[in-house]
Structure 1
Amino acid sequence: MRRTTVFGLLAVCGLLAGCLGRTQGGDQARNADAKEITLTIVANSAVGGKNARGANWIQNWVIPKFTELQKAKGVTATIRFEQNGAGDEDFKTKVALDLKTGGGGDVIEVDGIWLGEFAQAGQVKPLADVVGNTDWDGWDQIPKAVQGLGEFDGKRYGVPMGTDGRVLFFNKKLFAQAGLPADWQPRSWQDVLDAGVKLKALPGVTPVQLNAGSAMGEATTMQGVLPALVGTGRPIYDNGKWQGDSAQLKDVLGLYQKVYGGGLGDPVLQQEAKGRDRSFQLFSENRIGILLESDYFWRSVVEPKNGVAKMADRDAAVGWALIPAKQSGAGVGGQDFVSMSGGGVRVINPNTQYPKQAWEFLQFLNSAEAVKESLAGTAQLTQRQDVNDEVLKGDPMLTFIAEKVLPITRYRPGLADYPKVSAALQQATADVVAGRSPDDVATAYRAALVKAVGEGNVG
C-alpha cells in the first residue's frame, strides 16, 4: 500500500559527521543559552521536484518565520535547508549512515515504519533523553493513538506528522439495488459477509474487494491482513514476538477463505500486476460493492475532478463505515471497531549541539499555525485535532476519519524485519485465494516466518 502521508518534509543532513562539527552524545543543557544557533533541516523534497509542496513550505515559510521568532527573543538563528529527491529506501540508508557516524541534521523526519529499527540500533533516542523536559501543549491536540506513531517500546521518540486512516468504502447505488442501507455500519465480519451475499445477486458486480496476494504488495498487508488481525484482538507484533500460526491468524485466513472461496471476491484480480489500480477503476464504474482502503481513496482516487478513477457523483454515491472487529468487543483493547494508519515522525538527532533549541524548533514545526500552513490550502488529515477541525469541516469523509478513526487506529511495527513478515503474510493470503485451507496455509506461514526472523522471535 502506498502511504497517504505527504512523505519527506523533514529529514537528515546529507553530510556525514563533519556536517555540524558535533561530537557523539552530550548533555541536554548544552548551549541552552546560546545567542547564535545553527540548525540543519534536510528534506527528501526539492522545490520544483519531489514533494515540492514540503520544500516550498520549508524554504518560504518555516525558515523565515522561525528565524523571525528567534530574533524577537534576541537569538540569531541560522536554519540550513538541503534539498533531496532520493527514493525512500536510498534515503533511509542515508539517514542510517548519517546517524551512525554521529552526523545528520538536527531535526530528522523518518517514516514511522523505520522508527523501531533506528531505536534498536541506538541511532535515535527517546525524546526526553535528548532534550529533557518534553512538556508541550501540542500533545493535547494529538490523539493518543496517533502519538503511538512516534513511540517504540513504550517510550516517546518524536512527534508524529500527518497520518491517514482505513475504513470500508461502499457504493451506495449498488447498496440500494441490493436492498442495503445507505447508512450501513457493520458490527462484525459476518455483517460484511452478509452484505456481500446480497450484492452477489447483482449482475456484473464483485461484492467485496479485500486486497490479497503478493501482486498487491503492502496493500494486502495494510488494507487487509493487519486491520483484520487487530480485529481479532492481537496485533502482528506483540510482547516482542511476531505472531505465528495462532488462532487469530487462522481466523483472518478464514475470512479470506469466505470472501474468495465463497464467490464474494474476484481471485483473478488479486493476481494482476496492477490489480489494485484495476479495483479502483471497477469501483468507480459501479462494479465493486465494498472496498477496504485508506482516505487516499476518497481524496485522490475517486475525487471528481483530479482523481485517478474519477467519480463525478462521488459525494452522493460513496459511503464509508468503520472496520468492525471480528465481533463486538473482539478488537485490540476490547474495541468494537479498528483501523490501521501510516505516517512520518519527526525526531531530534541525539548528537545535536542545540537540544533545547531543536526541541523548540520541533514544537514550532508541529504547531497549529505551521501544520495548517504546510497544507497549502488542501484538505488533508494532519496529526493535530484542532487543525483537522478547521481544515476538514467541509469534507464529511475526512472529518469522519479525524473524529472516529484516528482515536482507535494502530500502526505497523517499525522494525527491520517487518518487510519480511509482510511478504510472508501476502503469500499466505495468496495461498488461501488459490484454494488452500487456512490451517495448511498457517503452518506454511509459520515456517516462512521462522526462516525470516528466527524461531525465538515467533510467538
Structure 2
Amino acid sequence: MSRRVLRLRWLSLLFVLLMVAAACAGDDTSGEAATEDGDATPEDVGAGTEEGEATPDDEDETEAAAEPTGEPVTISIAENAVRGGKNAIMADYLIDYAIPTFTEQMAADGRDVTVEFTESGIEDEDYKSRLALDLSVGEGPDVIGFDSFWLSEFVAAGYLQPLTELVGPEVDDWEGWEQIPEAVAGSLELEGERYGLPLGTDGRVLFYRSDVLAEAGLGEDFQPESWEDILEAARTIAEELPDVTPLQVNAGTSMGEATTLQGFMPILLGTGAQLHDGEAWIGDTPQLRQALEFYDEVYSEGLGDAELQVRADGRDRSFQEFSEGGIAMLIESDYLWRGVIAPEALFPVENRDEVVGWAKIPAMEPGAGIRGQDFVSASGGTGRVLNPGTEHPQEAWEFLSFLGSEEALTEFVEREPRVTAREDVNATGIADDPMLTFIAEETLPITWYRPGFEEYPQVSEAIQRMVENLVAGRNSVEEAAQAFEADLQGIVGEENIRSETG
C-alpha cells in the first residue's frame, strides 16, 4: 500500500474521531469513553469509564501498548530463504519470531511499524544479481541479507553507503559492537566504514558419511593427514562401493562462490600459497598448478562426478546425494551441518549425529600449508546491510540492530545452532553442538579470509572458469593455469600478478 493511501486513510479516521468527540461533548453521556467496539479513541484520554475499566493513567495499566504516534511505517527485509525450502529455518525465524517481536516492541513505544518479508529460494548467484539490479535503480528491500564477499563490489558500484552516512552517528554507539570480534566485524567494513552487521562466520572442513566409510572398510573415524590420504580413501570407496561417488570438490561456474571458497581455496592454501599475498595476486605458479593437479586426479580418475559440476543445480544435487549416502566425502562449510542436513532443513539426515563426521582439511603434506600449517580452512560470513534508497533509515536501522541483538541472535541459535558474530551468544549458544564447537575451536584459529579488494568477485569468477574448464576436459592443467593468468591480467593488471616467472 502506498504512503499516500495510508495518509488518506489516517486523515479520514481522524476526521471521524473528531466528529464523534464533538458530538459527545454536548451529550449527557460524555462520561462513556468507548466507541462501538469498546476501543477508546484518542480524544477519550482522561474521560471516565464504566466501573472496573482501567483509565490510561491507571497505575495498574502496564501491559497495554501505547497508541501509535506519527505516520505508520512499512519496511521490508529480503533473505534468500523460503518457508519449506531453501534456508527454511531462517525464513521461519523471521516470520514466527523476529518480525512479530520487533513490531510488538515498536508498538509498545507507541509506533506503528510493519515489516514485510520478501522470500526467495533461488541460487545464490541469482539472488545476488537480483539485489544488484534492484539497488542499481534505487529499488529493493530496506534490510538485505548479504554475503560479506559481495561488499567491495557493491560499494564500488555505488549500491551501498556507510551506515553512519545513511542513519547517523548513533550507529557507532550500538552496544553490540563490543561483542563482535574485530575480524568478524571487518567482514562488512571497507576502508574503516561500517556497511552492515555480520550475522556470523564459518569454517570449511571435510565432511564424510561415517556409515559409508565403514561399509568400505575404512572405519568410522577419519582424519586424513595429506591429500594422498584423501585420494587413497576415495579410491578404496570407488572400488568397494561403485554406486557411491567418493568425493565432491566443487568445480563449476554454476556453483558460484562455493567453487572458490569450498573447493579451490582450501586446496590452494594446502600448497602454502594465498590468493593474494599482500602485494600481488597469484598467477600461473607451481602452487596454482599443484592445486589444479589435485582436481585433475579427482575427476580424471572418476573419484568425483564431473557432470555434477556443470549442472545448474549441481550444488543442491551434491547436498541431496550426500544426505542420501550417494556421496561419501565433500568439502563444505558448517552451513552443511546446520542449514542443509539438519532434521528441519531441505535435505535432512534424520540420524545426522550418528552417520555424519567431519575432519580438518589437510595440507598437501604435513607442514606444507599456509603459514606452515598441517591443516587449513577458509572462512566467509553473512550479514545484513541497509538499502541506501530506504525511505525509513531510522526504522530500518532499528530492525537491523534488533536482529543483531543478544536476544534475537540467541533465539536464532536455538533454532539453528551456528557460530554467530557475538561472543556472548556463542559462549552458550553452541556449547552443546560438537560440530560447531569444532569449527570455533579447531578451524577458526587456522583459517583464511578472502581479500577485501573490489576485484575479488571477478577474480573468483576467473577461478571458477579455470577449474570448470579443467574438470570438463576442455583444458589441461597447463592450459587452465595459463588461461587463468590471462584472465587475471584483464582484471587486476599484469603488474599486480605474481606469476611462475616472477
TM-score (norm 1): 0.72
> 1:371-386 alignment to 2 at 5 Å?
371-374=409-412, 377-386=415-424
1:392-423 CA distances to partner (integer Å, 9 max, x unpaired)?
34433233334434455445456665444333
Moved more, 171-180 or 237-246: 237-246
Q: Which residue in the other structure is 1:367 paired with? A: 405
Task: Say whether residues 1:90 and 2:130 are aligned partners.
Answer: yes
Moved more, 259-268 or 374-383: 374-383
Task: Say whether residues 1:449 and 2:485 are aligned partners.
Answer: no
Q: Which residue in the other structure is 1:387 paired with? A: 425
Q: Which residue in the other structure is 1:264 paired with? A: 303
Contact 2:251 2:263 in 1 (8 A): yes
- Partner amino acid, structure 2, of 1:294: S
Q: Distance in 1 between matches of 2:389 and 2:277?
A: 28
Match of 1:311 among 349, 352, 356: 349
Q: Which residue in the other structure is 1:111 paired with? A: 147
| Amino-acid identity (%) | 42
1:306-340 CA distances to partner (integer Å, 9 max, x unpaired)?
45444343221110112233344554455532123
Distance 1:400 1:132, change over 3 A: same
Deviation at 1:291, TM superposition (A): 0.9
Q: Which residue in the other structure is 2:209 paired with? A: 171
Q: Which residue in the other structure is 1:437 paired with? A: 476
Contact 1:47 1:55 in 2 (8 A): no
Contact 1:43 1:55 in 2 (8 A): no
Q: Which residue in the other structure is 1:142 paired with? A: 180
**Where does the alignment leave 5 or more consecutive residues of structure 2 unmatched?**
4-68, 121-126
Distance 1:271 1:367, change over 3 A: closer
- Partner amino acid, structure 2, of 1:279: S
Contact 1:163 1:344 in 2 (8 A): no
Q: Distance in 1 between matches of 2:95 and 2:159?
A: 25
Alignment: residue pair count: 415
Contact 1:213 1:220 in 2 (8 A): yes
Q: Which residue in the other structure is 1:65 paired with? A: 105
Q: Which secondary structure does the structure 2 equivalent of 1:223 belong to? A: helix
Q: Which residue in the other structure is 2:19 paired with? A: none
Q: Which residue in the other structure is 2:284 paired with? A: 245
Match of 1:42 among 73, 76, 94: 76
Match of 1:324 among 362, 365, 372: 362
Q: Which residue in the other structure is 2:335 paired with? A: 296
1:206-241 CA distances to partner (integer Å, 9 max, x unpaired)?
322112233444432232012323444444345475
Q: Which secondary structure does the structure 2 equivalent of 1:401 belong to? A: helix
RMSD: 4.3
Deviation at 1:111, TM superposition (A): 3.3
- Partner amino acid, structure 2, of 1:150: L
Q: Which residue in the other structure is 1:196 paired with? A: 234
Q: Which residue in the other structure is 2:39 paired with? A: none
Contact 1:269 1:279 in 2 (8 A): yes
Deviation at 1:170, TM superposition (A): 0.8
Q: Which secondary structure does the structure 1 equivalent of 2:318 belong to? A: helix
Q: Distance in 2 between matches of 1:428 and 1:81?
A: 43
- Partner amino acid, structure 1, of 2:76: V
Distance 1:254 1:200, change over 3 A: same
Contact 1:301 1:308 in 2 (8 A): yes
Q: Which residue in the other structure is 1:286 paired with? A: 325
Contact 2:459 2:488 in 1 (8 A): yes
Q: Distance in 2 between matches of 1:48 and 1:428?
A: 33
Distance 1:175 1:331, change over 3 A: same
Q: Which secondary structure does the structure 2 equivalent of 1:236 belong to? A: coil
Q: Distance in 2 between matches of 1:451 and 1:406?
A: 33
Q: Distance in 2 between matches of 1:157 and 1:346?
A: 6
Distance 1:154 1:320, change over 3 A: farther
Contact 2:207 2:356 in 1 (8 A): yes
Q: Which residue in the other structure is 1:227 paired with? A: 266
Distance 1:133 1:312, change over 3 A: closer
Q: Which secondary structure does the structure 2 equivalent of 1:226 belong to? A: helix
Q: Distance in 2 between matches of 1:439 and 1:48?
A: 43
- Partner amino acid, structure 1, of 2:78: N
Q: Which residue in the other structure is 1:152 paired with? A: 190
Q: Distance in 1 between matches of 2:347 and 2:403?
A: 34
Deviation at 1:165, TM superposition (A): 3.3
Q: Which residue in the other structure is 1:9 paired with? A: none
Structure (1 or 2) with the larger CA radius of gyration? 2
**Where does the alignment leave 5 or more consecutive residues of structure 1 unmatched?**
1-13, 16-34
Deviation at 1:342, TM superposition (A): 3.4
TM-score (norm 2): 0.67
Deviation at 1:367, TM superposition (A): 1.9
Q: Which secondary structure does the structure 1 equivalent of 2:435 belong to? A: helix
Distance 1:265 1:91, change over 3 A: closer
Moved more, 255-264 or 394-403: 394-403
Distance 1:325 1:98, change over 3 A: farther
